[in-house]
Amino acid sequence: MGVNFFVIGYQTGKASAGGGDEFPADRYFEGGYTDIVLPNATSIKQYAFYGDKTLEKISIPKATSIGDYAFSDCYPKFKTIEWTDKVTSIGKYAFDDCSYLSLTELPSGITSIGQSAFNACRQIALTKLPSGLTIIEDNAFFGCSNLALEELPSGITSIGNHAFIDCPKLKLTKLPSGLTTLKSYAFSKCSNLALTELPSGLTKIEAYTFNNCYQLALTELPSGITSIGAYAFNNCYKLAISKIPEGVKDIGNYAFCQCTTGLKSIEIPSSVTKINAQAFANCGSLASVVFKGTPTTIANNVFTGSTALTSIKVPWAEGAVANAPWGATNAVITYNYTGEEE
């Protein structure tokens, strides 16, 4: 009959089981126990419980750090971790694919959460993160379908690639004011994300950043933005901006595709040199577009499917930019437009 409850004491650098078994404290733990208490452990080393299929609960009252891959792939039984605010760091992939782990809060002392730390942890239901965090690493909360954060720590300056992708219960209405880096796919498929503004320090919107954020209700973009990546705001139905910031040079493929209800008119600045395929396609309420400068390239299907678009005003002469009417089959193009109403 196997032992279901296991207490490990850390005094000599080795771990002792009740039956007298010994093994190195930093060795991969081979499992077989459902409930483990580590009363004196100050760190859980990398790969310590990697792939353990029997572990259900662990108590680590003195731990200050969780190593890389420490509990990665511990499913389907691992549900409970008892820890304290002594914990300051969680390594990369530490809880990766612990799909039944149930958490409503993290230790308040945490200042570092590694790449993919909680990837695919579908049962964690955090409403806040520790206040000492400054960076959200790549894939940190990828696919955490019950993550219900109401705000992010004020000190956050960077949010990595895929950090919150596919977190449909995320309902943030603002991002930290000091945020300067927002990577690709950061909030993709966050269908209830309800931001109304973005931090002023952002300089680019990368590919897929807000793809399929149906409730995103921005009315303007930061003035320092210089590029807007492919699919950046694709399927953001409620997006209601009226101009692209001066300084943007390139608008990516499908960047504003299917912004169906909020996007009604758009002003494109003189800094834009290229508008890529279907950038404003299928924008059902888009009625007018005004160009302030002359792009080098406009793809032939930029406005495809935007059937309400009836007016495009441009400062160049007919024929100066190829592919007109750029997919806007119902639009009247006013050439040599100077900004003065005729």
Edge-first strand listing for the sheet containing 43-44: 43-44, 65-66, 89-90, 112-113
pLDDT value at position 341?
A: 56
Amino acid 31: pLDDT: 67
For tokens 């969780």, name the residue: 66
Cα 301 from chain centroid (whole Å): 29
- Type of residue found at 297: T
**CATH class of residue range 225-231+243-342:** alpha beta
Whole-number Å distance between alpha carbons of 58 and 316: 69
197 close to 218: Cβ distance less than 8 angstroms:
yes
Where are the domains positioned within the chain?
225-231+243-342
Contacts of 257 (CB under 8 A, 6+ apart): 231, 234, 235, 278, 279, 280, 281, 282, 283
pLDDT given at position 302: 98
Q: Model's pTM, two decimal places?
A: 0.90
Rounded CA gap, 74 and 69, in Å? 10
**Mean pLDDT by 10-residue block, N- to C-terminus, for the chain (342 residues)?**
45 32 42 89 94 95 96 96 98 98 97 98 97 97 97 97 98 95 98 96 97 96 97 98 97 98 98 98 98 98 98 98 97 92 51
- 175: closest CA among 155, 199, 196, 191? 199
| pLDDT (0 to 100) of residue 340 | 65
**SS3 call for 35:** strand
- Taking the C-alpha atoms of residue 253 and residue 251, their distance in angstroms, rounded to an integer, is 7
pLDDT at 14: 33
